[in-house]
Structure 1
């Protein structure tokens, strides 16, 4: 491992702002936090991406960004991967969540001490340290509350509506509006251990300065055939769907909508686009 990746530079002059990104070590979460890291780094702000060694390796290996050179402005910190048992999956489990991964989730709690050590190392190098952590890493970054020049922001990789809908149901409260038709319920998706893990994170979110949610105003979602979510999809069904996508009028319309969505999304992140304006606002806030 390059020493440059492991130690922050100690200049005689403190940096104005340093950002520390703490992702949850699951690929879809790792990638989104790394994408956000690259965006923040593009404003010439020092960014530190801190995760388990396995997590950092996965993030770099499968990163789907358009410019990997962005890594040149990001410092990576590899904590020892916490040990955990890895039982085989139970195909007959009544719970939809892959419960055999629960032990790996709980192992992330052991990253609290390494993260705290990193915070104490970096905090003297900047006037302000901003910690952006995955929603599921709130417990791990709880020691930010003890360091005066650190403020934290929770990052949630799911859309706002999904977050609200799921949390409302997990708290056992009825939805205040008519439940949207076609959306799957979280009932049976989470076991008690996972719910306890999520609840633990919620308890430590009270000290955050704000929440960042990965969303885009240009994106529209269509939900179809969710009533079949518990069925095993046969290969012939997949082949037929691909054939329809490639050769039918419906497939042509789907491809056209995808192209239009791509154009709208690219405009959103360009200068003057809604996503870029929101990011500019966040950067202005943390560098004020």
Structure 2
């Protein structure tokens, strides 16, 4: 019993050819027919804390229904059973709500840290987790500057759980469930370019209503979830110390200089993972 040697060595061979090309390993994608990232603009001045987005998300992804809205100051976090949460904050202008979920970074640290490309930035923007490629290293959890990916520690078949911006629904031409079910229109879906323009328009037309900053425009190199707020974002518990540059960019210079064995290492791990899965399936069949 073993891995598919032909496919495994073909993948390793392709990696070696890429390495011989030097920096072509990190060449920028072609600008021909670029696909604009999809994004969501969340306007906290419009959010009423109804939790409709939480219920819609739970129903769409077969997750437990959320608990009743907590008191102000009791802050919930996303976890393996909850891909998004809305909390209430007491701020300098009174009570303000803020929704949390995966930020879907333009250049996600989680995908860069993933040795087997299980965490994947799709062409249209959503960052998704692919279970058939995951080896359970949880580097995605450690690398995320927003503390988003969550591991199912108590499951016999654990997964990494996080918001996917309803990637499957987008593929079917539908809106993300949270956007479709927001009665206050606090959530807007569109291209990132369009939503940044809309956010700037709202700030310019109502300068007394908004804090002059779009969270996610530059944070971590830019994200697909964009935020408007009536107060500075630290009052809503946001990580305002996140760097503006992309986190994967910090490691590029290092990767250019490392020996090829370290670049090949993910392929080796993926091969081991594949072999382990096949062995476990064979043992299960034998027991039956």
TM class by shorter chain equals under 0.3
Highest RCO, 1 vs 2 (Cα 8 Å, sep ≥ 6): 2
Q: TM-score, normalised by structure 2?
A: 0.26
